[in-house]
A = this chain, B = another copy of it.
Amino acid sequence: MGARPHVVIIGAGFGGLAAAKRLEREAVDVTLLDRHNYHTFQPLLYQVATAGLNAADVGYAVRGLFRRQQRVFFRKAEVTGVDWEARQVHLRYEPRLDFDYLIIAAGSVTNYFGVPGAAAFSFPLYGLEHAVRVRNHLLSLFEAADAIPDLIDDGVLNLVVVGGGPTGVEVAGAMSELVDKVLRQDFHDLDVMRSRVVLVEQAPYLLAPFSPRSRRYAHKILEAHGVEIRLDTAVTAVTADHVEFADGTQLATRLVVWAAGVRAATLADGLDAIQGRGGRITVSPDLSVPGHPEAFAIGDVADIDDGTGGRLPQLAQVAIQGGNHAADQVLATIARIARRPFHYVDKGTMATIGRRAAVAELPKGVELTGGIAWFAWLGLHLVYLLGVRNRVSVFINWAWNYFTWDRGPRLILRPETLPHTPHPISDAAGPGDGARREA
């Protein structure tokens, strides 16, 4: 790669991309690594899972972002470890990669908290492939019930969402809308209203990161949409055909969406680093990895002090600002300028609950609920989405869904397994690949 310093970035999520973009015109070579060849706009995954958007609307080919930056290289690869002494990144199939600086932005994997059966039988919702799988499965359940109505008695139309945080609330709200407004029109001789959407939360309230007022609003709206909310309820087991709760009761279901939490990507476990809650890499104030000044950890994989003794939340904004900061510290170090500590600028958080219903908490205590929060949510997500074409497509889909009460992207599309598996492409690319890194 020549004499320019080589910056390796692990992960093309919000944090990794922000870092790469910040470095693309500087006097460094950048190699960006990701298991997928696309960036995923995670805040909209739940809409793919509920047939509101196409998969391609929320994915963007990483190479397309750096077509004109000849010194930014992308590699679709899975990182298996870091050799600190040799300053090399180990990849699952490809040759090792030397680095001068390393930015670890490997993100999260689903945290099943050791609940028996959860990893095997529930559906995570952290990647685009997960979202497509939920969509395919959900629609298949309705097709099955339409053909064999007895299956409804077996709970085939009971849709369970575990976790009442923003993701769980958004999924449950969108599911109830899909069933009530779309599938009811689609199935002419199926009693679609026998379907149940059940949202399970261990805490005594939904939306823990939000204010009591926002929590109550979300609760009220979801209930009005027919979502059954079970608070103070822990899931103790997931099986192929039911979930079990701490009070000993069961609920028959074939679709359990697991939105109960995430933990740091497993890569974090093998780095000899200090790990905080959820296995996240505890970083120094400049976001570097203690003992390894040439390495930084950002985004969901990083455990970052918020300045008041707490930790920064796992939000896109934290990742983006962290990516920019880490890139700046790399450049400062190369220029022999002193590094600066990271200061997060809170831009607020939002969650959408349904049609014209959302909650938004902005800086300085501004709280919004209802239609205004919903429109703010739509606008902000359009702005932050990558690529003109994705924005246009999302906008058209949203407008269509809004005015027609229809949802176009409800195809059950399941590419078959590859007919042949020539090594080493095969293993790296085969079905089931994504599941390996779930904790």
Contacts of A417 in B (CB 8 A): 417, 431-432
Give residues 103-159 of A contacting B (CB, 8 Å): 120-123, 128-130, 132-133, 136-137, 139-141, 143-144, 146-148, 151, 156
**Total count of chain A residues near the partner, CB < 8 A:** 87
Question: Is B416 a contact of A37 with CB atoms below 8 Å?
Answer: no
Question: Is B148 a contact of A38 with CB atoms below 8 Å?
Answer: no
A395-439 to B contact mask, C-beta < 8 Å, 1/0:
011001000001011111111111111101100110111110000
Contacts of A38 in B (CB 8 A): 411-413
Give residues 64-78 of A contacting B (CB, 8 Å): 64, 66-67, 70-73, 75-77
Instruction: State the copy count for this chain.
Output: 2
Interface residue A297 (Cβ < 8 Å from any Cβ of B)? no
Contacts of A94 in B (CB 8 A): 147-148
| Min CB gap A182→B, angstroms | 9
Give residues 47-75 of A contacting B (CB, 8 Å): 54-56, 59-61, 63-64, 66-67, 70-73, 75
Interface residue A250 (Cβ < 8 Å from any Cβ of B)? no
Question: Is A415 a contact of B133 with CB atoms below 8 Å?
Answer: yes
A313-333 to B contact mask, C-beta < 8 Å, 1/0:
000000000000000000000
| Min CB gap A130→B, angstroms | 8
Question: Is B186 a contact of A416 with CB atoms below 8 Å?
Answer: no
Determine which of B60, B76, B146, B241 lies in contact with A412 in the assembled complex, contact meaning CB atoms within 8 Å.
Answer: B76
Determine which of B56, B120, B241, B408 lies in contact with A390 in the assembled complex, contact meaning CB atoms within 8 Å.
Answer: B408
Write the residues of chain A forming the contact surface with B, with a CB cutoff of 8 angstroms.
36-38, 54-56, 59-61, 63-64, 66-67, 70-73, 75-77, 91, 93-95, 120-123, 128-130, 132-133, 136-137, 139-141, 143-144, 146-148, 151, 156, 185-189, 240-241, 254, 387-390, 392-393, 396-397, 400, 406, 408-422, 424-425, 428-429, 431-435
Q: Which 10 pairs of residues, A with B, have the shortest CB-CB distance?
A: A63-B186, A94-B147, A54-B56, A76-B143, A144-B425, A132-B415, A38-B411, A140-B429, A240-B420, A67-B185
Additional pairs, 17, CB under 8 Å, beyond known A76-B147, A121-B420, A390-B408: A37-B139, A38-B412, A55-B56, A67-B186, A70-B188, A75-B143, A76-B143, A93-B147, A95-B147, A121-B419, A129-B416, A132-B415, A137-B418, A412-B429, A414-B433, A415-B415, A419-B435
